Amino acid sequence: MSTASAHLTIRGIDVDILYKDIKHLHIGVYPPLGRVRVAAPDRLDDEQVRLAVIQRLPWIKRRREELRSAARQSEREMVTGESHYVWGTRYRLKVIERPGRAHFETDGERLLLYVPAGTTAEHRRTLLDRWHREQLRQAIPSLIAKWEPRLDASVPRWTIRRMKTKWGSCNRETGHIWFNVELAKKHPDCLEYIVVHEMTHHLERNHGPRFTKLMDTFMPNWRTLRDQLNNAPLTQEQWT
């Protein structure tokens, strides 16, 4: 079965398209970020797919809002017994109240949070966000250093931020890359995929055939990592 891929931005929504030897067009909106992916017959072109997506926009927007609402409703209370992900591994949170500096530690299958008594859930979430950012700050530099010579591209600046619909983004002109703080919850291979993906944009702006060819050359298993990343839990983590 022959396949080809493309990427379009339609009415502000990023759409991944996979052309296959199939009869009918299928549109899916997938958790956790509401990513829109289209499986289209290879007899169609980008414009025909774009029109089909526009016709389904009301449904697509409803589905994306449902996913975002579910994520908001599952906001962590930061109490003992919750599950939290760190580098793709699920840990059971244990809150230990004691005087002194608030901090996190991992201990086997447990994520330990040491905080003064009376610390609010909101502040505990802030502490977790800071800790996740620190995990990324420690991991990203070595990955960039690894891939700069391989891609013959430099990253003069990078930033960690919270993003609603993207794992990463870049400014091709300045080389600046932004990473979603949620990547600290994913397997390290997923972070490396995002590093390579965004650095490849320094060589090719769009998600067209040349971009796909470059990714196939640099990281042949990138599709597997992309799917692993998009299918992994985000904010809807499991209670145990």
Asked whether the beta carbons of 209 and 4 are under 8 A apart, the reply is yes
Give residue-wise pLDDT tens across range 25-81. Answer: 999 988 767 889 999 998 999 999 999 999 999 999 988 888 776 655 456 789 999
Give residue-wise pLDDT tens across range 11-20. Answer: 888 898 989 8
Q: What is the pLDDT of residue 103?
A: 95
Average pLDDT over the chain, rounded to whole?
A: 88
| 83-231: CATH number | 3.30.2010.10
Give residue-wise pLDDT tens across range 82-102. Answer: 999 999 999 999 999 999 999
**Does 186 score more than 90 pLDDT?**
yes
Note every long-range contact of 24-32, with CB atoms under 8 Å and residues 24 or more positions apart, other chains counting.
25/49, 25/52, 27/52, 27/53, 27/56, 27/60, 29/60, 29/63, 29/64, 29/67, 30/230, 30/231, 31/67, 31/70, 31/234, 31/236, 32/67, 32/71, 32/230, 32/232, 32/233, 32/234, 32/235, 32/236
When mean pLDDT is compared across 60-69, 110-119, 156-165, the lowest value belongs to: 60-69
- Residue ranges covered by each domain of the chain: 4-73, 83-231
Of the pLDDT bands very low, low, confident and very high (cuts 50, 70, 90), residue 208 is: confident
Of the pLDDT bands very low, low, confident and very high (cuts 50, 70, 90), residue 239 is: very low
pTM for this one? 0.72
Mean pLDDT of the 178-187 span: 95
Higher pLDDT, 239 or 208: 208
